Chain A
Amino acid sequence: MSVNNETLLSIIENMQKNIGENRSYLSDLDREIGDGDHGINMDRGFQEVMKKMDEMKEQDISGILRTTGMTLAFKVGGASGPLYGTAFMKASDTLKGKEEIVLTDLPGLLDAAIGGIQLRGKAVQGEKTILDTLFPAKEALENAIVEGKNSEQAIDAMLKAGEEGAEYTKTIKATKGRASYIGERSIGHMDPGAASALILLRSIAEIVN
């Protein structure tokens, strides 16, 4: 696996496409346990990112992720803006001066993104959040690399663990964010943030594999 500027821009375009297609799905999930705007917010954010395409074509990979993060942070309008925005910005910091992302860069990149989300949202794993998708995905990716899996297998393992993580959020109650106000009644519903995080991971996998 090697992701240069061009591939990275394709990934971001694919994120926008997939988020756009799942706009209603994400808002419906949010309506069950929150205020019902997650799909609208994420879609707005990624559409704003698309407006920066010309600018991003002139940037290196670190710059592209920074621009994406800043745009999401400023334009999403809900809690997911600062959360994903900080995630992309922290991921950007791990790639300074690099011209491509290779498989072994990915765990560090995800780790930084997770750290950014935790810094902003003060959540840990198991609270029915974005992290419940990203944590297991990162762990599975790390393990696959240690086991000597090739990039396609490792990315598949990451995605599968992310899917399981998002599914797992149906079984637990929310203790962070607005969904925490409904306590036990949040059980049975997938967390919309965990679902959007999975869409972003899938958008990466579709392009690199």
Chain B
Amino acid sequence: MVGILLVSHVQSLADGVKDLAGLVAPSVPIVAVGGLSDGSAGTDVERIYTSLKEADQGDGVLIFMDLGSAVMSTEMALEIDPNDNYIMMNSPMVEGAIVAASAIEAGSTLEEAHNLVESQKGVDKF
């Protein structure tokens, strides 16, 4: 099954998105990582890398980030061990994660879930 990695500056934000996505996708491996190892706000390349491996069950991982250094730190984590099946998503973290989790729960492949999130990322909230 495709995994989802949520990268935020604070653990509680990543955890919250994970909880929400978990409601629609109880069987999808969703890993939340945020903040530094001492609990302060920020992004930590090493923690992101470890979490990425945790989310990877062999069918790829879609990665959602909040902003700024979360994007750059994720890029660096991916460079440690480049893998085409780890995809950074250019979409809002909450909406993107929910769309992806629903699709994966319903049996989507990495590519299908990726395409679906891409097609939805510009959708207005109302």
Could you tell me which A residues sit within 8 Å of B by CB distance?
35, 37, 41, 73-83, 85-86, 120-121, 177-178
The 6 closest A-B pairs by CB, nearest first: A77-B42, A82-B72, A79-B69, A74-B45, A77-B36, A82-B76
A83 vs B67: C-alpha distance when bound (angstroms): 15
Q: Is the CB of B46 within 8 A of A74?
A: yes
- Determine the chain B residues whose CB is within 8 A of the CB of A78 once the complex forms: 42-43, 69
Q: Is the CB of A81 within 8 A of B69?
A: yes
- Chain A residues touching B, majority SS: helix
> B41 interface residue, CB < 8 Å from A?
yes
| Between-chain CB contacts (< 8 Å), 7 pairs | A77-B40, A77-B42, A77-B69, A79-B69, A81-B72, A82-B73, A177-B68
- Determine the chain B residues whose CB is within 8 A of the CB of A82 once the complex forms: 45, 69, 72-73, 75-76
- Determine the chain A residues whose CB is within 8 A of the CB of B69 once the complex forms: 77-82
Q: Is the CB of A178 within 8 A of B68?
A: yes
Could you tell me which B residues sit within 8 Å of A by CB distance?
36, 40-46, 68-69, 72-73, 75-76
Q: Is the CB of B45 within 8 A of A73?
A: yes
In-complex Cβ contact of B42 among A37, A83, A86, A120 (8 A):
A37
Closest Cβ of chain B: how far from A8's Cβ, in Å? 23
Q: Is the CB of A74 within 8 A of B44?
A: yes
Closest Cβ of chain B: how far from A87's Cβ, in Å? 12
A73-B42 contact in complex given A79-B68, A177-B68, C-beta closer than 8 Å: no
A35's nearest neighbour on chain B, judged by CB, is B41
In-complex Cβ contact of B72 among A41, A75, A83 (8 A):
A83
Q: Is the CB of B72 within 8 A of A77?
A: no
In-complex Cβ contact of B44 among A77, A85, A120, A121 (8 A):
A77
Closest Cβ of chain B: how far from A172's Cβ, in Å? 20
A37-B41 contact in complex given A74-B46, A77-B36, C-beta closer than 8 Å: yes
A79's nearest neighbour on chain B, judged by CB, is B69
A79-B40 contact in complex given A73-B45, A74-B45, C-beta closer than 8 Å: no
Closest Cβ of chain A: how far from B75's Cβ, in Å? 7
- Determine the chain B residues whose CB is within 8 A of the CB of A86 once the complex forms: 76
